[in-house]
Amino acid sequence: MSETQSDRPTASSALPRAKPPRWVSRTVLAVVFVSGGLIGASLTVLLRPDKEWRGRSSVEKRRERIVAMIADEVDLSADQVERTRQVVGERLADIQEIRKVIEPQMRRQAALLYESVNALLNDEQKPRWKTLYEKLSAKWFPEPPASRPAAQDAETTD
C-alpha cells in the first residue's frame, strides 16, 4: 500500500453519522411547503389574465358567461339556450340602466364619507386616510379596462 492510502480512514473505521434532531427535518419540510405555496400564489397573481371587474365587463361577455353557467348547471337544450340568452340580455340591459342612475349617487355618498372622516382626523392621519380612501375608491368604482377603446365602452353601456 502507498502512504496516501494508509493515511485515509477506511469506511469501517469512520464513525456512524448522527441523525439530525427531528425538529430540524420538520422545520425544513415546513419551510419548503410554505415556500411552494408562496411561489404558487405569486405566479397565480402574476400570470393570471387581466381580471375584468364584474360591473365593467362588456354586456355581451357577461351575457355569454351567465348563459354558459346556466346551460352547464341546468343542462339546457339548444332552444332553451337561445331563449335564455335573449332573457339574460334584456335583464342585463335593465341592470345597466339602473347602474347609470345609482352610480352618481354612490360616488356622492363616498365623497361625503371621505370629507366627513377627513374632518375628524389630525394632520398626521389625513395623508394615510387619503391613501386608504383612494384604494377603497378604486375597488368601489373601478375604471373600465384600458384595453377597450372608449367607443366600445359607449356601445356596451347602451
Q: What is the pLDDT of residues 109-123, one digit of tens each?
A: 999 999 999 999 999
User: Is pLDDT larger for residue 41 or for residue 117?
Assistant: 117
Percent of the chain with pLDDT over 90: 42
The whole-number pLDDT of residue 71 equals 92
Summarised one tens digit per residue, pLDDT across range 49-68 is 555 444 456 778 889 999 99
Contacts of 92 (CB under 8 A, 6+ apart): 59, 62, 63, 66
Look at the pTM and tell me if it is higher than 0.75. Answer: no
Mind spelling out the 3-state secondary structure of the chain?
Answer: CCHHHHHCCCCCCCCCCCCCCHHHHHHHHHHHHHHHHHHHHHHHHHHCCCCCCCCCCCHHHHHHHHHHHHHHHHCCCHHHHHHHHHHHHHHHHHHHHHHHHHHHHHHHHHHHHHHHHHHHCCCCHHHHHHHHHHHHHHHHCCCCCCCCCHHHHHHHHC
The whole-number pLDDT of residue 144 equals 56
